[in-house]
């Protein structure tokens, strides 16, 4: 899969000499958060649709409102994760794409990128999702991988999903028939298992002890 295959040109870019009214009309026609503004083939910035709709002077030129422009874009070398981060950071459903000479060549659309991510083996293959936590200074990605693979699991991917000054959480996608062995090994290595799993024998043991304690207290 080549992510560049999803670069689009269906929405025409606007120019600084276009009117506010033309930008407003484009926003009404299409569900886009930003409009690429181009000058001489170069991206000037991205005009937020929410801002342009508040302007009353429909005959005014966009160059008079260049202070409204947001400045974000990506290159042809961007990865899928790069794009997901850009969409989130800029609260946008459209990311302009520039070539190596910084010429505007099109844009990525959020829906297309999310579809690609959803179809990736990381999310699509049958697997278990496991979230583990450890002290910020004590964790090791190589150790996490070793724990999974030493228990005959296949690690499809992992990423840091939360971080504070004290702890870090790692989300894993694991292909395995015996998730309990992996869970117990993480605990032996002083990881806290955040997610709950039906066949977690440790949790079942705690439940049995709680039931015994309730029975004892009711006597």
Q: How confident is the model over 136-153, as pLDDT tens digits?
A: 999 999 999 999 999 999
Residue 128 shares a structural domain with residue 113: no
Residue 25 shares a structural domain with residue 95: yes
Q: What pLDDT digit, counting tens, does each position of 171-216 carry?
A: 999 999 889 999 999 999 999 999 987 666 555 554 454 454 455 4
E-strand stretches of 8-127: 34-39, 42-48, 74-75, 94-98, 104-109
pLDDT at 21 over 60: yes
> Is 145 inside any structural domain?
yes
> Is 178 inside any structural domain?
yes
For residue 20, give both structure tokens: 């506010």
Contact 27, 52 (CB under 8 A): yes
Last residue of a domain, one of 82, 117, 152: 117
Question: In this structure, which long-range contacts are made by residues 59-63, counting pairs with CB atoms below 8 Å and at least 24 apart in sequence?
Answer: 59/19, 59/20, 59/21, 60/19, 60/20, 61/16, 61/17, 61/18, 61/19, 61/20, 62/14, 62/15, 62/16, 62/17, 62/18, 62/19, 62/20, 62/23, 62/37, 63/16, 63/17
Last residue of a domain, one of 97, 117, 137: 117
Q: What pLDDT digit, counting tens, does each position of 97-130 carry?
A: 999 999 999 999 999 999 998 888 777 777 899 9
pLDDT of residue 127: 85
pLDDT of residue 22: 96
Residue 111 shares a structural domain with residue 10: yes
User: Which domain does 84 fall in, by range?
Assistant: 3-117
Split into its structural domains, the chain has a count of 2
pLDDT of residue 44: 97
Task: Please name which of 204, 193, 175, 185 lies closest in space to residue 146, comparing C-alpha atoms.
Answer: 185
CA distances in angstroms from 143 to 79, 113, 134, 195, listed in the order given: 26, 31, 12, 19
Predicted structure pTM score: 0.75
């Amino acid at each position: 899969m080549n992510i560049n295959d999803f670069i689009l040109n269906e929405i025409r870019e606007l120019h600084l000499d276009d009117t506010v009214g033309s930008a407003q009309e484009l926003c009404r026609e299409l569900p886009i958060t930003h409009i690429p503004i181009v000058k001489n083939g170069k991206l000037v910035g991205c005009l937020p649709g929410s801002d342009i709709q508040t302007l009353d002077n429909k005959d005014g030129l966009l160059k008079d409102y260049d202070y409204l422009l947001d400045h974000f874009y990506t290159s042809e070398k961007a990865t899928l994760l790069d794009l997901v981060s850009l969409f989130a950071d800029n609260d946008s459903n459209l990311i302009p794409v520039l070539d190596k000479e910084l010429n505007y060549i099109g844009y990525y659309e959020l829906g297309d990128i999310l579809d690609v991510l959803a179809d990736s083996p990381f999310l699509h293959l049958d697997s278990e999702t496991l979230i583990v936590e450890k002290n910020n200074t004590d964790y090791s990605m190589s150790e996490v991988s070793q724990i999974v693979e030493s228990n005959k699991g296949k690690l499809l991917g992992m990423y840091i999903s939360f971080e504070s000054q004290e702890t870090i959480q790692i989300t894993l996608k694991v292909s395995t028939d015996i998730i309990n062995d992996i869970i117990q090994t993480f605990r032996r290595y002083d990881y806290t298992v955040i997610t709950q799993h039906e066949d977690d024998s440790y949790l079942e043991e705690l439940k049995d002890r709680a039931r015994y304690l309730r029975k004892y207290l009711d006597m």
